[in-house]
C-alpha cells in the first residue's frame, strides 16, 4: 500500500493533539501508544484508543493512494509540532513507516501495521440528539469533578446521566461529596439511564473547547454498552460503566437548621487562605456559623496544624437559624465553589455530623452535597 499525503501543518498538529489524549499507556500493548492514520472518503482520518475511549478526527488533506498504518503518537506529535513550514508531506511505501518532509526537514517515523490496531466502532449518528455544546459543557464541569478517581468502586468513577422527557440530569459522587446538575432542554428524550466515565466527559469538554462547536450530537447505539459524542469533525466513542449507581437521593438533606448566604468569591478566597495551613492537617477546616440580629452573622474559617500553625478568617454573612460548628475537607469545599458562577452561594446545614448543601441562590435543582469531617471532642 503506497500513499502520498499533503496536509496543513497547523491542522495536523491540532488534530494530533485532540486524538492524543485517548492514546493508551499500556506497556504490554504498544499498539495503544500509536495513532491510526487512514483514508476515509477522501479525508485523512486519525484514530486513537485506550480500549475504554476512542477518539477519531477527520481532516482535509490531499491524498494520492490508499493509507493504513499506525505511528507512535508522541513521536509523530513532537515531530509535527517542531516543524515551521505551513505544509507537511508524508509518504508511505508498503512498510509500516512514514517519510516526512517539511521545508528543510526530512525524517522517517517507524510504526506498526494497521491490522494490529483495535477496531473503533463506527456509528451513523444522524439519528442522535443534538444538544447545545455550551450547556453540556457547563453540566459536565458542574459534576464530573465530584466523581471518584479510585478504581476500587468503578461506578463512582462515572457520572450518572438520566434522560427523561425534556429533562437531562447528571450526578457525580466519590462517597464524600455529591454534585447534581439538571436542565430542561428543547428536545425530548426516551427514558434512559447510563453511567459514563467521568474521564470521557472531561474529554468531551476539552474537545468542545478545541473545536469551538456550538452543537454536539449524543448517540446511544443499540448495543447499550457504549455512548457516542459527535462534535464537528471529531467523534468520541466510550464504553459505559456497568453496575448499579448508589441511591444518592437517600442522602439528600431534607430542610436545614442553619442557613448561610454569602458572596461566592469571598468564601472561595477564604477557603484558599485556610487551605494553606489545613493542607498539613488532612485539609480539615472548621466552619463556625454564628447568626446575628436581623439575619446578619459571622462565618469563621478555622484551620490548625501541629506542624505549621493556625489561621482564622472571619467573614460577614447572612445567617439564620442555629449557631453551628461543622468541619469539611476544604479542598472539596473549594471544588464545589469553583463550579458555581453565581454571585452568592447558599450553604444549608443541620448538624456537625450530617451532610450540608451548597448551591447558587435561587437554584433548587443544581446542588453540591458535602459530607462533614469529624471534629475532635464531638
Is the CATH code 3.10.150.10 the one for domain 2-116? yes
Query: Residue 102: what are its φ and ψ, rounded to 5°?
Result: -160, 110
Write out the three cell numbers for 365. Answer: 435543582
Homologous superfamily of 252-370: DNA Polymerase III, subunit A, domain 2 (3.10.150.10)
Secondary structure element (H or E) that encloses residue 103, with its range: none
d(CA 162, CA 196): 11
CA quadruple 46, 50, 51, 56: dihedral, nearest 10: -20
| Each residue's pLDDT tens digit, 30-79 | 899 999 999 998 999 999 999 999 999 999 999 999 999 999 999 999 99
Same fold, 2-116 and 252-370: yes
Q: Residues near 352 by Cβ (< 8 Å), separated by ≥ 6?
A: 324, 325, 326, 327, 372, 375, 378
In this prediction, residue 26 has a pLDDT band, given cuts at 50, 70 and 90, of low
d(CA 161, CA 225): 14
Write out the three cell numbers for 370. Answer: 458535602
Percent of the chain with pLDDT over 70: 99
Query: Residue 2: what are its φ and ψ, rounded to 5°?
Result: -120, 150
In this prediction, residue 294 has a pLDDT band, given cuts at 50, 70 and 90, of confident
Break the chain into its structural domains and give their ranges: 2-116, 125-247, 252-370
Is the CATH code 3.40.50.2300 the one for domain 125-247? no
Q: Residues near 197 by Cβ (< 8 Å), separated by ≥ 6?
A: 52, 53, 157, 158, 159, 238, 239, 240, 241
| pLDDT recorded at residue 262 | 96
Count of CB atoms within 10 A of residue 26's CB?
Answer: 12
Residues 327-333 have a mean pLDDT of 97
Count of CB atoms within 10 A of residue 119's CB?
Answer: 9
Amino acid at each position: 500500500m503506497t500513499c502520498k499525503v499533503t496536509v496543513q501543518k497547523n491542522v495536523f498538529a491540532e488534530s494530533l493533539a485532540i486524538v492524543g489524549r485517548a492514546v493508551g499507556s499500556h506497556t504490554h500493548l504498544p499498539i495503544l501508544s500509536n495513532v491510526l492514520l487512514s483514508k476515509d472518503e477522501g479525508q485523512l482520518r486519525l484514530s486513537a484508543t485506550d480500549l475504554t475511549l476512542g477518539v477519531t478526527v477527520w481532516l482535509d488533506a490531499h491524498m494520492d493512494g490508499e493509507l493504513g498504518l499506525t505511528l507512535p503518537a508522541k513521536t509523530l506529535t513532537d515531530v509535527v509540532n517542531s516543524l515551521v513550514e505551513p505544509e507537511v508531506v508524508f509518504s508511505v511505501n508498503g512498510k509500516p513507516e512514514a517519510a516526512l518532509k517539511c521545508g528543510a526537514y526530512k525524517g522517517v517515523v517507524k510504526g506498526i501495521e494497521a491490522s494490529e490496531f483495535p477496531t473503533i466502532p463506527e456509528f451513523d449518528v444522524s439519528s442522535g440528539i443534538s444538544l447545545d455544546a455550551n450547556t453540556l459543557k457547563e453540566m459536565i464541569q458542574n459534576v464530573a469533578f465530584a466523581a471518584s478517581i479510585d478504581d476500587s468502586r468503578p461506578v463512582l468513577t462515572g457520572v450518572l446521566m438520566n434522560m427523561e422527557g425534556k429533562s437531562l440530569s447528571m450526578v457525580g459522587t466519590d462517597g464524600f461529596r455529591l454534585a447534581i446538575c439538571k436542565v430542561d432542554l428543547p428536545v425530548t428524550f426516551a427514558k434512559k439511564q447510563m453511567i459514563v466515565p467521568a474521564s470521557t466527559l472531561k474529554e468531551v469538554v476539552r474537545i468542545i473547547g478545541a473545536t469551538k462547536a456550538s452543537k454536539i450530537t449524543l448517540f446511544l447505539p443499540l448495543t447499550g454498552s457504549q455512548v457516542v459524542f459527535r462534535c464537528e469533525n471529531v467523534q468520541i466513542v466510550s464504553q459505559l460503566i456497568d453496575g448499579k449507581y448508589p441511591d444518592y437521593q437517600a442522602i439528600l438533606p431534607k430542610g436545614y437548621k442553619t442557613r448561610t448566604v454569602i458572596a461566592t468569591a469571598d468564601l472561595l478566597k477564604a477557603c484558599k487562605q485556610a487551605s494553606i495551613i489545613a493542607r498539613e492537617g488532612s485539609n480539615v477546616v472548621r466552619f463556625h456559623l454564628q447568626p446575628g440580629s436581623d439575619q446578619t452573622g459571622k462565618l469563621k474559617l478555622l484551620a490548625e496544624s501541629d506542624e505549621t500553625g493556625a489561621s482564622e478568617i472571619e467573614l460577614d454573612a447572612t445567617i439564620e437559624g442555629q449557631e453551628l460548628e461543622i468541619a469539611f475537607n476544604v479542598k472539596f469545599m473549594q471544588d464545589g465553589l469553583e463550579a458555581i458562577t453565581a454571585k452568592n452561594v447558599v450553604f444549608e446545614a443541620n448538624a456537625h455530623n450530617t451532610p450540608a448543601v451548597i448551591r447558587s441562590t435561587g437554584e433548587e435543582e443544581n446542588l453540591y452535597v458535602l459530607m462533614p469531617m469529624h471534629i475532635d471532642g464531638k
